Amino acid sequence: MKKAFLQLHLSVFLAGFTGILGKLITLNEGMLVWYRLLFTSITMYVLFRMQGKLKKLPLPAILSIGGTGCVVMLHWLFFYGSVKYANVSIAVVCFSLTSLFTAIFDPLINRRRFDKTEMLLSMLTLAGILLIFHFDTQYRTGIILGIISSMFCALFTVFNKRLVVKYDTASITFYELGVGFLGLSLLMPFYLRAFPVASFIPSAMDLVYLLILAWFCTVLMYNLSMNALKKISAFTVNLCFNLEPLYSIILAFILFQENKLLQGGFYAGLSLILLSVALQMLRVVRQHRRSVPSA
């Protein structure tokens, strides 16, 4: 069990490191995501084929899974755009709005009742973002991109919940990222025309960071979280992943001294967001205890 918890927290830490690498990589967000999808798709194909996990699926299933992959591709695109136009701390704080968008999209798409408590708690997060938006005016473009990123992340979460009950996670992950790569490849000529780059080839350091992002922060993170899930409940895994933005902010403060660039409005907004996350975690813990009284 100790090994499973170690794997879980390492996977959360690796997830928190993705924003840091986005800051270190000098490529623009479009090229960054394109290379991340390329390296990750190739690695997962080889790894899953060797492990016998990759299954052939019918075309309608691949298209359905691939559509969700295009959503996660857009999430990454706007997330790294937020990192580039603002900073890591702003991007991951905006990522906290995923809970609000999930509380809106899930009932609309799955035709269930709106959860008033979820909405109220998510409004605290929204208030925190609005506070940062009001006071840290230099980061407004990055905040807008971060909000759009969290919207796509919420859609991905809702759509992915439908897929996991039909297909195995290895096939879902590979086809999502593979089709996401193809989708972005089709968009790249138009993207690069709007946002031209000096070179398509990453520098030596960018290549190292991209491989770390693909191999460690995507493939290894996926394997660690899946291994942890064999011993630890999905409830505990989801609860621990709430620490991801906090890890990212601490790392950004240490590595980039972003705390010196942020004003009081950021910390006031962050306090509201952390309060919202804490209350949501407490609520989930109580619900879990009621549903599993023997625990």
Determine the Cα angle at 9 with ends 181 and 217, to 5°.
Answer: 20
CA distance 148 to 146: 5
Residue 292, SS3 per DSSP: coil
Q: Are 247 and 11 in contact (CB under 8 A)?
A: no
Query: What is the DSSP code (8-state) at residue 124?
Result: H
Lookup result for tokens 């993705």? 18
Q: What is the pLDDT of residue 264?
A: 84
Q: Which of 123, 120, 125, 93 is CA-nearest to residue 273? A: 125
How many C-beta atoms lie closer than 10 Å to residue 170's C-beta? 19
Number of domains making up the chain: 1
Between 280 and 169, residue with greater pLDDT:
169
pLDDT tens for 38-55 read: 999 999 999 999 988 888
pLDDT of 260:
85
Q: Choose between 222 and 60: higher pLDDT.
A: 60
Closest CA to 80 of 224, 198, 210: 210
pLDDT in tens, 125-158: 888 888 888 777 788 999 999 999 999 998 998 8
User: How many C-beta atoms surround the C-beta of residue 105 within 10 A?
Assistant: 16
Enter the pTM of the model. Answer: 0.89
Give the Cβ contact number of residue 53 at 10 Å. Answer: 15
Task: Output the CA angle 240-3-235, nearest 5 degrees.
Answer: 30
Structural domain of 198: 2-291
Contact 174, 45 (CB under 8 A): yes
Flag the least confident range among 186-195, 205-214, 271-280. 271-280
| 294 has a pLDDT exceeding 60 | no
Helix (H) or strand (E) segment spanning residue 224: helix 221-231
Alpha-carbon gap, residue 147 to 78, rounded angstroms: 9
Q: Quick one: 282 exposed, middle or buried, by C-beta within 10 A (0-12, 13-18, 19+)?
A: exposed
Q: What is the pLDDT of residue 229?
A: 66
Average pLDDT value for residue range 60-80: 95
CA 242, distance to chain mean position in Å, is: 11
CA distances from 9 to 165, 171, 220, 241, 247 (A): 25, 24, 13, 8, 11
Q: Report the share of the chain in percent with pLDDT over 90.
A: 45
Distance in angstroms (rounded) separating the CA atoms of residues 81 and 34: 13
